[in-house]
Structure 1
Amino acid sequence: MHPHGVATRAELLAAGIPNSTITRRYHRILPKIYSAEEPTRIARCYAVTLWQPGALLSHRTAAWLYGWVSESPGVEATIPPKSSAPSTSWLTVYRREIPDRETTEVQCLPVVGRERALIDCCAVMAPADVSRIVDERLAAEIDVDRLRALIRNSPRRRGNARALDQIDKAAVGFASEPERVLDRTLIQLGLRLQTNVWVGRYICDFVDELAKVIIEVDGRAYHSAPEVFTSDRTRQNELQLDGWLVLRFSAVDVMAHPEKVARQIAEVVRRRRAARR
């Protein structure tokens, strides 16, 4: 047996298991591929690689194996262009050649590389869903220059245009999910601010030096801890006395109404930029 109880019919027969027993007691996952128990998602992944040795797990399945997403709809795999694929409700196949340099292994499974997986996700996922993955991966583990080079080296491939758009709008300097969402929304409005930078002796969430504006996204601690409230009052007074306009928004409001908050910020920043010129 292979990991997770997966085996080919030939392997089961070689182990002395009668053909009738295989048919009656084993779960057929793919043509000539079986498992002793009801197959899990990871077992299905192993089954794909047994059924098609040239297959690479890709798209959302690769994202799941990398730990980028907690769930993956069925299994997605990329196979050589001329390969045939079985008709099944849980397996989606894509046909194209993948150079060896774009492949790797995760849990002993062949998987497309991280850069290719990110581009593939851009091709099949809704922009709002994939934006978080793009932002987090560019901030943590994927080099944007390598990603752009991969796109240039594989022109006209599905997902390239969407991936470039996501890269251009990526928020990579965030410290929390509300900050990421707000930064993304501001960028979509054409306003890219500095994120988590020092102003005097304080690190500020968003800064526009030309407009002399600071934006702070307050979490729950701001409302519940008296010492945090007092510290933030001191901080805000010092910044305002130094000529900064400090705008504060709760994380709850940012997550509930990101467009409304972003438009208010953009209006203030652009107005002050024009006035200060």
Structure 2
Amino acid sequence: MLPGIYSADQPTTFARCYAVTLWQPNALLSHRTAAWLYGWMDEHSMIEATLPAASKARTPFWLRMYRRDLPASDTTEVVQLPVVARERTLIDCIAVMTPEAVARIVDERLATDIDAQVIASKIRSTPRRRGNSRASSQLRSAASGFASEPERVLDRALIACGLRIATNHWVGNYVCDFVDELARVVVEVDGREFHSAPEVFSKDRRRQNDLVLDGWLVLRFSAFDVMANPEKTARQIAGVVRRRRRARN
């Protein structure tokens, strides 16, 4: 596997991670490997790890090493393996993954266990580090408050159109997927259960009638259409919201 490290069987991803830390005691598992250990993504074919900047080591085809010096605050352990801490791992993933691939990870992490302000602080503390510009861009375009994957994707598309509106927001007695109070527009993304369960359909009709009678414009989109063309859906919503904002001012 590695100099002085052997395996009788085909090594698993976890075994390779462990082998790296035996071979290089100063190594920290990082980037997509750390993200996999945190449960953020499926395992990646390449093991990625970080060594101190002065380290020199030749690596096999399945191992990619990054050389840099990290403070103790950027290190932790996962299942007794040394790993780059969550916040720095998120920035690292943004640096090496395509924006489309990393967007879901960014949105989910900022919605659950990582503080966007901590990420911003780390970016400021290392102004010339690779990935900072892309990380800042991801922070600006991150979806928030979503309850489903179609909602997350649509929120991203709306932000790309320059429109930030409230997500999963109360309007009277109802929590609506997207709400713009100035334009009095509600946007609902209908999942499969909307079309398959009669009681869900009837409840949503009553809900929509209540909102319309209270002066709200309700726009409905299927989850299928949102996922098929989120940019088109976002442009339609943005156009309606902006026209109604102007008309109401």
Aligned position for 1:68: 40
Partner SS for 1:34? coil
Partner SS for 2:6? strand
User: How many angstroms apart in 2 are the aligned matches of 1:172 and 1:106?
Assistant: 27
TM-score, scaled relative to structure 1: 0.89
Aligned position for 1:188: 160
Equivalent AA in structure 1 for residue 143 of structure 2: A
How far is the alpha carbon of 1:154 from its aligned partner?
A: 1.3
User: How many angstroms apart in 2 are the aligned matches of 1:73 and 1:182?
Assistant: 30
Q: Is the 8 A contact 1:30 1:86 kept in 2?
A: no
User: How many angstroms apart in 1 are the aligned matches of 2:64 and 2:233?
Assistant: 39
**Identical amino acids, percent of aligned pairs:** 68
How far is the alpha carbon of 1:71 from its aligned partner?
A: 2.2
* From 12, 15, 22, the counterpart of 1:50: 22
Aligned position for 1:112: 84
User: How many angstroms apart in 1 are the aligned matches of 2:22 and 2:217?
Assistant: 62
Partner SS for 1:78? strand
User: How many angstroms apart in 2 are the aligned matches of 1:73 and 1:189?
Assistant: 35
Q: Which runs of 5+ in 1 are unaligned?
A: 1-28
Aligned position for 1:125: 97
Aligned position for 1:257: 229
Q: Deviations over 1:199-221 (max 9, x none)?
A: 00000000000110000000011
User: How many angstroms apart in 2 are the aligned matches of 1:146 and 1:228?
Assistant: 40
Aligned position for 1:173: 145
User: How many angstroms apart in 1 are the aligned matches of 2:75 and 2:172?
Assistant: 46
- Alignment of 1:275 with 2:247, yes or no, is yes
Aligned position for 1:215: 187
Q: Which runs of 5+ in 2 are unaligned?
A: none
Which one has more relative contact order, counting CA pairs under 8 Å at least 6 apart?
A: 2
Q: Deviations over 1:179-203 (max 9, x none)?
A: 0000011001100010001100000
- Alignment of 1:244 with 2:216, yes or no, is yes
Larger displacement relative to structure 2 (72-81 or 55-64): 72-81
How far is the alpha carbon of 1:137 from its aligned partner?
A: 0.2
How far is the alpha carbon of 1:144 from its aligned partner?
A: 1.1
Q: Is the 8 A contact 1:49 1:55 kept in 2?
A: yes
User: How many angstroms apart in 1 are the aligned matches of 2:168 and 2:200?
Assistant: 18
Matches within 5 A, 1:72-111: 72-111=44-83
How far is the alpha carbon of 1:36 from its aligned partner?
A: 2.4
Q: Is the 8 A contact 1:31 1:86 kept in 2?
A: no
TM-score, scaled relative to structure 2: 0.98
Whichever of the two has the greater Rg, that structure is: 1
Equivalent AA in structure 2 for residue 162 of structure 1: R
Equivalent AA in structure 2 for residue 43 of structure 1: A
Matches within 5 A, 1:142-157: 142-157=114-129
User: How many angstroms apart in 2 are the aligned matches of 1:87 and 1:60?
Assistant: 17
How far is the alpha carbon of 1:73 from its aligned partner?
A: 2.6
User: How many angstroms apart in 2 are the aligned matches of 1:238 and 1:82?
Assistant: 66
User: How many angstroms apart in 1 are the aligned matches of 2:214 and 2:43?
Assistant: 48
Equivalent AA in structure 2 for residue 267 of structure 1: G
User: How many angstroms apart in 1 are the aligned matches of 2:8 and 2:56?
Assistant: 26
Q: Deviations over 1:240-274 (max 9, x none)?
A: 11100000000011011101111100110011111
